[in-house]
Amino acid sequence: MSEFSLDLHDTAIAYSDKSDAELKEKARLFRMLNSPVLNSVGTGLTKFALSMGLPVQGMIKATIYKQFCGGETIAESESTIARLARAGIGTILDYSVEGRTTQEGFEETKDEIIRTIERAKGDPNIPFCVFKMSGIAPLGTLERLSARKRLDAKSQAKAERIHNRVVEICEAAYDIRQPIFIDAEETWYQDAVDRMATEMMARFNQEEPIVYNTLQMYRTDRLQHLKDSRRQATNEGYVYAVKLVRGAYMEKERERAKEQGYPSPIHATQADTDADYNAALEYCLKHFKDMSFVAATHNEESTQLLAGEMHELGISPDHPHIHFSQLYGMGDNISYMLAARGYNVSKYVPYGPVNDAVPYLMRRAEENSSAAGHMSRELDMLNREVRRRGI
């Protein structure tokens, strides 16, 4: 490979849109998140305060919520969309309400997802929309569908309502040619998600990539699943589209496998996960002309690998079939450098009422404390930019 690299540690670019006050506040928050003790105490106190009905929403909104969420509504998120757009970064509006359990709640979530699609119409600053199946479906029904168990009449009716919601969302996206991700779930729900995602791709990806499935590459079976899925799409005449992530439920997956006595579906080591993730990138790049993919990663090595191979092959950084993505509030060194070099890059921007977004925020905090290496690098860059500015 020819000499090529992205300077992913250029803090002046990474934090170019942060004022001095914003930079210092972000550094202060990340110092807390990087401390296992402070992180644990902070998340514990937050959960306790909310369970007791204490008025802490304002404090949450002004601190961790502001760093990782766009706003409580689409309208409140507009300033975030505009700020990212000025840097050449797209927004993926992610309605982050979780834990709905009623049909009415599922319908409300579906309607809000469709509103994100309508907001994205004709706006190049919102390249993708997204939804989680677990946000519009009873988890028990998803689990039974994934286990391919025989459904009684009540469960069958629920399954049909899930299917109708998925079709309605994907049809709304197809009608305005707005690409949409179906996010990944835990393994015991994922088979149902995969089957519905495949059905939606076969239905709506006949001309171009509209519906994307999401593969968690920490699973031992996903690299083969990727290859099989692309071949199926090619044989059946539709465009395969996929978002590649490393995975979000590692501890939960391993604990459940141990409790129930089946082999863990997760790679034993980080190195194995990294190897499969990078192999997936290379496979997708090999077939980029007849499929579309998104490298959703905060990993610098994977980012350098994909950008470097695109350069080596003479593929334009803004090729419509190749995208990068990171979470809002994290990985700015990757997002802003990619954007500065002309690559397609977007940020997941969660939004929703503060109380409803707390489960998402707690996961961010817990993931950050467990991903100490990544957090330390991020905090180091924040501190370096604080010193560079002399503030």
Report the distance separating Cα 162 and Cα 150, nearest Å: 16
Report the distance separating Cα 263 and Cα 83, nearest Å: 45
Half-sphere exposure of 287 (CA within 13 A, CB side): 21
Averaged pLDDT, 280-297? 98
What are the CA-CA distances from residue 362 to residues 20, 226, 354, 356 (Å)?
A: 27, 30, 12, 11
Averaged pLDDT, 306-312? 97
The per-residue pLDDT for 190 is 98
pLDDT grade, residue 356 (50/70/90)? confident
Domains in the chain: boundaries: 1-68+358-391, 70-351
Name the residue with tokens 């899930």.
Answer: 162
Residue 357 has pLDDT above 70, yes or no: yes
- What confidence tens digit (pLDDT) does each residue in 78-133 have? 999 999 999 999 999 999 887 789 999 999 999 999 999 999 999 999 999 999 99
Residue 1 has pLDDT above 60, yes or no: no
Residue 145 has pLDDT above 80, yes or no: yes
pLDDT grade, residue 30 (50/70/90)? confident
Residue 31 tokens, joined: 């110092």
* Amino acid at the residue 186: E
The per-residue pLDDT for 370 is 45
Residue 387 has pLDDT above 60, yes or no: yes
Q: How many CB atoms lie within 10 A of CB 190?
A: 23
Tell me the whole-structure pTM to 2 decimals. Answer: 0.93
Residue 223 tokens, joined: 């690299």
The per-residue pLDDT for 32 is 79
- What confidence tens digit (pLDDT) does each residue in 167-215 have? 999 999 999 999 999 999 999 999 999 999 999 999 999 999 999 999 9
- What confidence tens digit (pLDDT) does each residue in 314-336 have? 999 999 999 999 999 999 999 99
Residue 386 tokens, joined: 């604080």
- What confidence tens digit (pLDDT) does each residue in 32-51 have? 777 664 445 455 656 555 56
CATH class of 70-351: alpha beta
CA-based end-to-end distance of the chain? 41
Q: Is 272 exposed, middle or buried (0-12, 13-18, 19+ CB in 10 A)?
A: middle
Report residue 364: phi and psi, to 5°.
-60, -45
- What confidence tens digit (pLDDT) does each residue in 55-92 have? 567 777 888 889 889 999 999 999 999 999 999 999 99
Q: Which residues contact 189 (CB under 8 A, 6 or more apart)?
A: 133, 134, 139, 142, 143, 146
Per the CB < 8 A criterion, the answer to whether 248 and 272 are in contact is no
Q: Rounded to the nearest 10 degrees, how much is the dihedral formed by the CA atoms of 217, 294, 125, 66? A: 20
The per-residue pLDDT for 41 is 47
* Amino acid at the residue 167: V
DSSP state of 149: P
Residue 162 tokens, joined: 């899930």
The per-residue pLDDT for 24 is 95
Q: Give the helix ranges, DSSP H, for the chain.
A: 11-14, 20-33, 36-51, 57-60, 66-68, 78-86, 103-120, 139-146, 153-175, 187-204, 222-236, 250-260, 270-286, 300-313, 332-340, 354-370, 372-389
Residue 369 has pLDDT above 50, yes or no: no
Q: How many residues does the chain have?
A: 391
The per-residue pLDDT for 358 is 72
What are the CA-CA distances from residue 165 to residues 60, 103, 112, 297 (Å)?
A: 32, 11, 12, 29
- What confidence tens digit (pLDDT) does each residue in 233-279 have? 999 999 999 999 999 888 899 999 999 999 999 999 999 999 999 99
Supply the DSSP string of 165-215, one letter for each residue: HHHHHHHHHHHTT--EEE----HHHHHHHHHHHHHHHHHH-SSS--EEEEE
